[in-house]
Structure 1
């Protein structure tokens, strides 16, 4: 593949292009940081806030599926209104300072019914996902309407759309993928980058860039898989980019004729080996959804460790799926979610598509939002150099990036104290970063590493890092700078702390580092300079090693000659924001999530918590649970269809729950099998709408609290009340639950039903500490 095939010629000043193994923008190396946000699954009223929060989280790009079934529910009649307004979403993204990747489909998956295909298409006399002329005529109509919505918003027009993905997880149809790009361009969509998903051994044409995935766990694994084989390698440093586990069950279903399928192609395909093209990702798990049969418990630390491992392995495009959770739309009687009814292997919740994303289904800001933001600030600050750095992975020939077909370590056996430290270096011949990790998820955790001291290659030198051996605690994945320039003639040879960002104000440059819990901080300089602040040189001959004399935190500001370094602890680093206001960046510390809308600093703190129900034991056994069923092409457990035996809990929602200016959420801590929040129908009512029961939210219990918003349903709740329906848990049915929670007793128990209210507004004085400004 040549860059010309990927990048249409453009003379615009901000040109985006593939240059060797990285991207350039405006002639400079550039790392996109992208998060998946499904506009059609989020209320339009929350778009602006959500996109501003994404920008505050350090994204520079958002991606969105265009689900065909939502936009053309009947042949030839298109819907682009309300939260289906694709153009409006892209414009809101531009206002937030974000670029956009449009995932055009036609097939999307995204746990949508028929992968986003309209029901009428599945009944049409054509072969989807091929170059069948009848199918292509349908696609052309859909593409034409979609591209019409995007007129004037493409990068060459000065708009935010920089890339498009054609199809999704199509493995044996390179000529079809090539035709989809050609068709989109013929219809007027001209973009710098065209992508297609490469995992599963996909054969791709030379006109699309392969993009990759990596998940810490997957609901699509079997119920007897404790830690899926496809997940384990993602916590190592590796030149391997592919993942044959993602979507494998759907591929099997397609091969069996139970779902959308394609045929064989014979077109020349792209070289996807390491180093041939940029290592770009589009689906690093920002969390994980749950299916009925298997309910993973991916943690914030899992998400952050996996993302960092990909950077250590050479990623130059960090793309997360999902970054913001959402809700399936309402429409089909069977639901708009993936299900065994439509030939899929898995049954999903009918409404909730929370995905335990960094920003939840109802706008909840979760811990991995902060952990990822630390990485994103680093990529924003240092990405121009990181983009050009090549990976050198321990256990692999550093000089040959193609000697790693299976990963950096032997990962076939269980974890244990014998596991070696996983480490890698990315460098550009002068400076670099050392990545270290004894991290794997708790189901197969790795041991702590004692007395770590490495000989790290950086350019032509080999550096001893750290100066004094340190212990690396279990559950840590970290990255340390090597040969980092601080000021003229002063270099940070190494540091046992992570770079977050660097900035400049009227005083001097400021470098902010995060010291991970349990790892003592040391700064190794190339020479001795005057030191002021809470730090001192070690008394060792020939060594220029500085250590802090106070714990890391906002007061641990050290002056080293002309350079300033702020050492933050992890808790404080999680409160660090770099926000654009006007023509300046602001570095802020805030205990509350903050973001910028219309150049104004905004937050939405909790202002009230009320316990509505505590410790209600509804059932001590699973006697009333419906008999387990299995279905779909993989014969996995099926979601209950019979709710007649459900226990019903009336929720006493207080009259002032919907006071003006407040957003009300309900949070349940409970144990059951499955639960639904329902607005009951009105018996004997002549009004068909009020007579119908309304499903507000649903949840397959997996150990986490269940949260959902009440405010959109305030009129119905005030008139008809709110109920929680619960089916009791029965461990013998064989649903996979994380070991942390699987020993919960049978039955149905509600420990807490809590009303949480939030009020949006400007941060109160004193809650935001301004560190400085940078132009």
Structure 2
């Protein structure tokens, strides 16, 4: 009797809660049946069909692969800023992170520093890079400029062209003649690699951040088409607004946004409108990109934008440090901004940068953007480093937002075909002021029947209050959904989404407070992986349409022809198992927040599989590579289990870990490498006088200034070769640090409070006493923005400098072979 009474009481509470919320809920969105449009039939693009008959096209809402909507994820990786011997490994890392389109600028200055003398060797071997993309089934977007920016000297234009006196970036005949010669040389490297030829090149971006006449862009488009660049898509950056438009449908605008910018003229913290990056809104463009060179941009979309798909090419995957602005990016800065853009309607998240790198050596000059150059001289950037604080850093090191973004990307891979058709809706009380913390930041994407509810309670450099007693009302054309049944508290710093009316086989998931990551179908049975949102109980509500629900250790309640499953347990076992009327089974695995960030999905031995591992994983055919820092063992759990998994042809024995099979693999390391610091020179006073350069911001030190830097020799316990993968992590305090091998500058770092890292394998052989680090003092009250937390206690001095230690990290890579 007590149990029956409790059930009746619960149902009364649930129904009263629903009735009360229907009366008034400030978190309310009305969804309409999306209207069909004919935009896309007017697009004037290139050949959409490849030799196998596969088609790639764009319409007004997104990308269609063989006629089916998809949401790909694009990541920028500059081939010429990374060693060609490591390209394959890095592309596989990007692919494992959920990137399925590669983009890169083609920097003219990297290939023709001397007029008429072209360099396509080594890290500049573009054809080799794109052929590797084809081998790994990664489509490629060619961002050919001719002006690119990318924090390269002259924005990528060769020195000889800049100094020629020719009017640049215009329909000037002399300029167009030089560009035609360059584009022809470029095309000669790429013949046979276009989509129509069976190659991976699917798009060409024309110019970059161009605000002049659309006529010039059309001239460039016509030029590349006549040369032979025939691709399914032609694109441009959607910012800034053109002085005169391009004819509709000729060139797709792609958009961007950043959490902060090294380019701002001020040394204030997070100036301008960067805070709007964390608000759900229909505005596609950005008012904060390249403010040092562009006029103030309107926060109203261009009139034609609604006719184009909402694609991005420059969601900031991190941010560079310029000499005058030392921005430090938090992983959530990037993730929350990306989730907000997807929620707001983006059907192609594209990151700049997704993978960092290092500037190649120049023949005549260094190749970094700097105020001392004659063109694109707005900022001073490091001579070598282009780390960008990206998900994959300067040397391929994995940063925490790689894992956060992978979880989002896997969702888009698995569920993007449905999401791509869904329109974004926003509440009437959606905040327009990013300082407003009084309401929930949320929105909905829906096709009128099902959809996703996106929530962001994170803001860069600002703590948003937790939001208590929250429910949402989604008013669909044929029903009203209130979720969750019991109000929840949205934690400060949370950024997540929840599905509603999600079809799992023939079952309808009315809603869940957990978010889906991935799915797999085997013999008509479906396994779905969800992630519990941190500090939010994981509830699932299904329509009671004849299904049988099995849930261990969890209460199941029925109300209004629905089944409520509360506080579902996390772990590697089946959290929920549903038997459908046709006898097929839906299995739900629910991972907690930390487990979900160790979740991977990939093909191994001809079969799609789920993986759990804190190590770094890549997949290729029958190979599973596991990379980790020095540990006694690595561990990976796999579902479904391969028939055989071997290391060095020796079969590995697994153990049961819920639905997974876990393999624990011992690692044998060589004798540890040790490093000792020997100071060669203390800093020489007086301190250098930091002055404004010609762009009116603080000017970086010259080579001559480093004669007064503090210097240390880094003494290694043994000479390094390519067989050992050694990283140095350097927690220094100073203004600028440089690492040399003899007289060769390997990399440099503008201090922002984060560790300075270098991978020595990129520079082997490295002798025991070949390395040297030089550090200039960090000056008090300089003309430079530093994150407040990075500033030391200067005490009575007007400068600070410290190099307490160097941490040696060794990585080991194991290659396992699997059979199905």
Question: How far, CA to CA, are the matches of 1:294 and 1:738 in structure 2?
Answer: 9
Shift in Å at residue 234 of structure 1?
1.1
8 A contact 2:257–2:288 mirrored in 1: no
Residue of 410, 418, 432 corresponding to 2:432: 410
Question: How far, CA to CA, are the matches of 1:77 and 1:25 in structure 2?
Answer: 40
8 A contact 1:671–1:744 mirrored in 2: no
8 A contact 2:680–2:713 mirrored in 1: no
Give secondary structure in 2 for the equivalent of 1:137: helix
Residue of 731, 749, 763 corresponding to 2:780: 731
| Bigger Cα Rg | 2
User: Is 2:328 aligned against 1:297?
Assistant: yes
Greater shift, 561-570 or 34-43, is seen at 561-570
Matches within 5 A, 1:584-599: 584-597=607-620, 599=622
Shift in Å at residue 56 of structure 1?
0.8
Question: How far, CA to CA, are the matches of 1:334 and 1:704 in structure 2?
Answer: 29
Question: How far, CA to CA, are the matches of 1:252 and 1:631 in structure 2?
Answer: 21
Matches within 5 A, 1:561-576: 561=579, 562-576=585-599
Shift in Å at residue 240 of structure 1?
0.6
Give secondary structure in 2 for the equivalent of 1:308: helix
User: Is 2:767 aligned against 1:718?
Assistant: yes
Shift in Å at residue 719 of structure 1?
7.0
Shift in Å at residue 530 of structure 1?
2.9
Shift in Å at residue 544 of structure 1?
1.8
8 A contact 1:429–1:458 mirrored in 2: yes
Give secondary structure in 2 for the equivalent of 1:55: helix
Aligned twin of 2:709: 646
Question: How far, CA to CA, are the matches of 2:625 and 2:686 in structure 1?
Answer: 47
Seen in structure 2, the aligned counterparts of structure 1 residues 249 and 382 have a Cα distance that, compared at 3 Å, is: same
Question: How far, CA to CA, are the matches of 1:701 and 1:462 in structure 2?
Answer: 53
Residue of 62, 66, 73 corresponding to 1:22: 62
Aligned twin of 2:337: 306
Shift in Å at residue 79 of structure 1?
1.4
User: Is 2:263 aligned against 1:225?
Assistant: no
Can you list the C-alpha shifts for 1:382-420, whole angstroms capped at 9, x where unaligned? Answer: 111111110001237xxxxxxxxxxx52326x35xx431
Aligned twin of 1:705: 755
Shift in Å at residue 532 of structure 1?
2.4
Can you list the C-alpha shifts for 1:303-342, whole angstroms capped at 9, x where unaligned? Answer: 1111110011100111000011000111156521011112
Matches within 5 A, 1:273-352: 273=304, 275-331=306-362, 334-342=365-373, 344-352=377-385
Shift in Å at residue 42 of structure 1?
0.3
User: Is 2:239 aligned against 1:199?
Assistant: yes
Greater shift, 375-384 or 324-333, is seen at 324-333
Question: How far, CA to CA, are the matches of 2:421 and 2:694 in structure 1?
Answer: 46
8 A contact 2:514–2:530 mirrored in 1: yes
Question: How far, CA to CA, are the matches of 1:758 and 1:331 in structure 2?
Answer: 31
Aligned twin of 1:430: 449
Shift in Å at residue 458 of structure 1?
4.1
Normalised to the residue count of structure 1, the TM-score between the two structures is 0.88
Give secondary structure in 2 for the equivalent of 1:111: coil
Give secondary structure in 2 for the equivalent of 1:639: coil
Aligned twin of 1:760: 813
Can you list the C-alpha shifts for 1:159-202, whole angstroms capped at 9, x where unaligned? Answer: 11111101100011211111111111101111110000011223
8 A contact 1:502–1:509 mirrored in 2: yes
Matches within 5 A, 1:4-23: 4-8=42-46, 10-12=48-50, 13-23=53-63
Aligned twin of 1:487: 505
Matches within 5 A, 1:385-424: 385-395=418-428, 408-411=430-433, 414=435, 418-424=437-443
Question: How far, CA to CA, are the matches of 1:341 and 1:294 in structure 2?
Answer: 17
Matches within 5 A, 1:597-636: 597=620, 599-607=622-630, 612=675, 624-633=686-695, 635-636=696-697
Question: How far, CA to CA, are the matches of 2:725 and 2:488 in structure 1?
Answer: 47
Seen in structure 2, the aligned counterparts of structure 1 residues 137 and 582 have a Cα distance that, compared at 3 Å, is: farther
RMSD of aligned residue pairs (Cα, Å): 2.6
Matches within 5 A, 1:367-378: 367-378=400-411
Normalised to the residue count of structure 2, the TM-score between the two structures is 0.84
8 A contact 2:40–2:58 mirrored in 1: no
Structure 2: gaps of 5 or more residues: 1-38, 580-584, 631-668
8 A contact 2:359–2:368 mirrored in 1: yes
Question: How far, CA to CA, are the matches of 2:353 and 2:590 in structure 1?
Answer: 31
Seen in structure 2, the aligned counterparts of structure 1 residues 185 and 465 have a Cα distance that, compared at 3 Å, is: same
